[in-house]
Structure formats: structure tokens, C-alpha cells
Amino acid sequence: MSVHTNGQDYLSMAINLATENVHNAGGPFGAVVVTPDGQVFEGVNRVTASNDPSAHAEVVAIRTAAAALENFDLSGCVLYTSCEPCPMCLATSLWARISKVYYAADRHDAAKAGFDDAVFYEYFEENSNRALMPVQHFRDEAVEHLKPFEAWDHMDTRIDY
């Protein structure tokens, strides 16, 4: 992998945010979203500090960028993160249309530090053991499962994404 000089700076920025966050009641994770015109939006892990299980650094950086740019579509933006994104952060990056992701430490480094999300990765693999958290498709005639989509379909003012 080759990261141009600016990229290395942004990765260092994410790593420094992660390190500082440890001393600020947060987890050891930091991330920055960089727009094509060079704007930088930071995020740090606030899971325990905010009692928010979804407050991973990458998600926080994406939320901050999207709110500031007033756009849910971050196409063209690059995400730099101190550690390999977990499945939630990968999915959030995909929904945000992030163009590219660079990470420093990997999932094995994280596991050694006590942050083991290997079981979450495995959860999404085909024929994986779903005993961790059963997700069941529920279908009953009394449940109008297509009602929200029909409402969406008929909404002229909808914003597709």
C-alpha cells in the first residue's frame, strides 16, 4: 500500500487523536474524514464516555463531516482511521459513499489490546453461527410488512439515497 505524504499526515492525525482520547475518557481510536478540497473532520471513540455503543471514531467522524457539510453523501471523501474499521464502521462508510479508507493498526493489533471484533466479522460470513444474536425473519398476515415501502413509493418529495 502506498499512501502519499498527505495521507500519512492524516493517518498520523488519526493516531494522535486516538492516543489523546485515551486520556480523555475515550477508547484508543481516532479517525478523520478528508474532503476532496482538503477539509478535515475529526472523530474519536466515545462509546463509554457517551454510553453510545455506536460512537466509534469512524462513525463519529462521518457524522461530524456529514452534519457540517449538510450532506449525507460523502462521495469523494477519504476516511483515515487509527485502526481497521469494524463491520459497523465499514457499513457506515459504505452508506456514506466514502471513496476510500486507510487504516493503521489492524484487527489483530486491536484484539491484542482487548478489542476483539473477529466474532462480529464471522457473524456476517455465510453459514456462520448466529447464536451470538439470533435475527429472525418474522412474516405474518397481520403484519403489513410492505406498508412503509408503499408510503415511500408514493411520496413525491422523497430524497432518494
Q: Which is nearer to Zn ion, 56 or 107 (CB)?
A: 56
Tell me, yes or no, if 58 is annotated catalytic: yes
Q: Which is nearer to Zn ion, 111 or 151 (CB)?
A: 111
Residue choice 55, 77, 86, 105 for contact with Zn ion (CB under 5 A): 86
CA atoms in the 13 A half-sphere facing the CB of 27 = 24
Burial 5-15 (b: 16+ CB within 10 A, else e): eebeebbebbb
Pattern 46-85, Zn ion, x by CB under 5 A: ----------x-----------------------------
In the complex, least distance from residue 87 CB atom to Zn ion, rounded to whole angstroms: 8
Q: Which residue among 58, 122, 125, 150 is the active-site one?
A: 58
> Any contact of residue 107 with Zn ion (CB under 5 A)?
no
In the complex, least distance from residue 54 CB atom to Zn ion, rounded to whole angstroms: 8
Catalytic site residues? 58
